Amino acid sequence: MNKMASTLYFEERGYFLEVYLDPFNKRIRVDDYRGNTKLLLEKTEELIAKYKSEKLIVKGRSEDFLAFFESGLQPETVVDRYFLGSDAYFFSKFYTSERKKNDHWIIEDGMIHSVYQLDTTTQKVNPPVEYELRMLDESNAIELSALYRQVFQIYPTLLHDPEYVKKTMKEGTSYYGVFHDGKIVSVASAEINHVYKNAELTDCATVTQHRKYGLMKIILHALEGELKRKGIFCVYSISRSLSFGMNAVLFQLGYSYRGRLMNNCYIYDKLENMNMWVKNLAKC
């Protein structure tokens, strides 16, 4: 069973630190910080040792790029305009040799090349009339969790638990789903960061037999519309690097590839690399 993740805050002399502990994925992520980078990195190293984490991720500001680089972290991806219009660099550091190894990198490079050869001509997706797009609420939580269990053997968050789905909805995450014969067959969500005015499009899942109609494009387009109405223009999505279909969807919706997070999380059936895709909705 998935171990509970949690967020910790540290406000010491010289720095502020917001840390996301993710024991299931054996990683720690710094979501926000201020102050002395040397001191706050020393604190994160203490947490890495305490929780026996294998990977550290830091969402770094551009002005701290060299400070993190000198401290042994490597930039893996970038999200344009993440911090109220300023770019965020996702730095990583690995703590075991196994976590640093990967057999799929070259294959995934080739996949990105293939994705960029796809036609991006705007084509309206028109699934059969029996498919209906709806915004979801807490009454859909049990069915949503069942769908995620069906599509993913392993998932990096607790979406297999209906109570967790309800919790995310209460905290402001928007879910849209497509229904067929009264059942949800495709879903995605927008997780909004209200402080820095950005959103991650995530939790994308479609039941196998319904994947030929472009349902995910419809859902993501609807979520983008809601985000624009809320004044959120920096949007990003992290997709499985081995999933040609999902990477193709994002590219054809106008997202740009911004790098790859190595051995980032346990999803589908193993530890996987994840591609970063970014879009500026202000230009749409």
pLDDT of residue 152: 86
Classify residue 52 as left (phi > 0), alpha (psi -120 to 50) or beta. Answer: left
Domain boundaries, the chain: 6-100, 105-283
Q: What topology is assigned to 105-283 in CATH?
A: Aminopeptidase (3.40.630)
At 156 the pLDDT is: 75
Q: What's the pLDDT score for residue 158?
A: 84
Q: In degrees, to the nearest 5, what angle opens at C-alpha 81 toward C-alphas 196 and 9?
A: 35
pLDDT averaged per 10 residues in sequence order, the chain, 284 residues: 79 97 96 97 98 98 97 98 98 97 95 95 82 97 95 83 94 96 97 97 95 94 97 97 95 97 89 97 92
Q: Tell me whether strands 74-83 and 86-94 are parallel, antiparallel or unpaired.
A: antiparallel
Decide if 6-100 and 105-283 have a common fold: yes
**What pLDDT, on the 0 to 100 scale, is given for residue 122?**
67
CATH number belonging to domain 6-100: 3.40.630.30
- Prediction pTM value: 0.94
